[in-house]
Amino acid sequence: MHPLAGRQVTKMNGLGNEIVILDLRATAGVVDAAMVRAIGRGDGLGFDQLMVLRDPRCAGTEAFVQIYNSDGSEAGACGNGTRCVAWYLMRSTSRETLKVETAAGLLQCWRRDEWRFAVDMGVPHMSWQEIPLREAVPDTSAIALSFAADAPPLMAAMVNMGNPHAIIFVDDLARFDLAAIGPKLEHHSLFPERANISLAQVVAADHIVVKVWERGAGITRACGSAACATLVAAARKRLSARTATISLPGGDLAITWRDDDHVVMEGPVELEFETTLDATLFADAPA
């Protein structure tokens, strides 16, 4: 039998960002891209991100979290998924705070109430090497990106918030087809690790409306790291304050770029169901 068969998984969402949590702490289980895609084929288990919990590597943390996109590729950060993980780890306890590890670093999490959590997403990175870009550019807050021979380039601001993000500020979101633009820019030659693509409309100094194409997942109802990257890019360009509501198709996130340079994201989570993985899912996935 496949080692993941019979394992319990928890299906959640953060603002409609579909999350599955697989707890492999205290096991030597291995997860690869084929297994990730197999899990997503489970009944009701279609996800934007799979959060795999591993034993902690650092003292004082609860788990090391590996993050996978629905296509099986790995991500460095997932804000909505981290809030779901915080709920999972604090459930049935009186704890109000904890830390988890990710490929992007240590993340502090706080419980605001039963279904609302905040996450310190860390420090944004904006140099071309840190994003990363394939070549040096004079200003990462204003990069012309071409996506079609018959269309003018779009100006993007680049921010790495655990994942590389390109944020394109527009006057009217309805004028742009993200489903057409997103996949082309995700794979733009400038991005050696691909990029998340966001269209953002600044409504007021404290309110920005955003739509996101996530690398490896496509259009999602919400993306926490994109919301953080958008706030940083807008404040850097003096389009917004350092605290704002970021409205995504799934709902609102409160984002603050603190004076210590850390970005804090706050928003709700929802438990959908818990189930076990059926062995038939892994018929074509190697053990």
Beta bridge partners of 245: 207, 254
How many CB atoms sit inside 10 A of residue 72's CB?
A: 18
- The pLDDT assigned to 239 comes to 98
Query: Quick check: helix, strand or coil at residue 270?
Result: strand
The band of 183, judged by pLDDT with boundaries at 50, 70 and 90, is very high
Task: Please identify which of the residues 58, 84, 109, 223 carries the catalytic annotation.
Answer: 223
Superfamily of domain 8-122+270-282: Diaminopimelate Epimerase; Chain A, domain 1 (3.10.310.10)
Question: How many whole angstroms separate alpha carbon 9 and alpha carbon 41?
Answer: 13
Q: What is the mean pLDDT of the chain?
A: 95
What does the angle CA 52 – CA 53 – CA 56 come to, to the nearest 5 degrees? 140
Question: How many whole angstroms separate alpha carbon 52 and alpha carbon 25?
Answer: 9
State pTM to two decimals. 0.92
Superfamily of domain 143-261: Diaminopimelate Epimerase; Chain A, domain 1 (3.10.310.10)
**Segment 96-118, tens digit of pLDDT:** 999 999 988 899 999 999 999 99
Beta bridge partners of 117: 111, 267
By DSSP bridging, strand 49-54 and strand 17-23 are parallel
**Segment 43-56, tens digit of pLDDT:** 999 999 999 999 99
Instruction: Check: CB of residue 188 under 8 Å from CB of residue 153.
Output: no
**Segment 209-262, tens digit of pLDDT:** 999 999 999 999 999 999 999 999 999 999 999 999 999 999 999 999 999 999
- The pLDDT assigned to 16 comes to 93
- The pLDDT assigned to 265 comes to 98
The band of 286, judged by pLDDT with boundaries at 50, 70 and 90, is low
Task: Say yes or no to pLDDT of 285 above 90.
Answer: no
The band of 182, judged by pLDDT with boundaries at 50, 70 and 90, is very high
Which helix or strand (DSSP H or E) is residue 85 part of?
Answer: helix 79-90
Task: Say yes or no to pLDDT of 143 above 80.
Answer: yes
Residue recorded with tokens 């955003």: 210
**Segment 250-265, tens digit of pLDDT:** 999 999 999 999 999 9
Mean pLDDT of 64-79: 94
**Segment 81-100, tens digit of pLDDT:** 999 999 999 998 889 999 99
Q: What are phi and psi of 213, to 5 degrees?
A: -105, 115
- For residue 228, indicate whether it is catalytic: no
Task: Say yes or no to pLDDT of 284 above 80.
Answer: no
Q: Where in the chain is the domain with CATH 3.10.310.10?
A: 8-122+270-282, 143-261
How many CB atoms sit inside 10 A of residue 285's CB?
A: 18
- For residue 223, indicate whether it is catalytic: yes
User: Among candidates 11, 6, 51, 56, which has minimal Cα distance to 31?
Assistant: 51
Task: Please identify which of the residues 78, 84, 109, 228 carries the catalytic annotation.
Answer: 78
Q: Give residues with Cβ within 8 angstroms of 91, minimum separation 6.
A: none
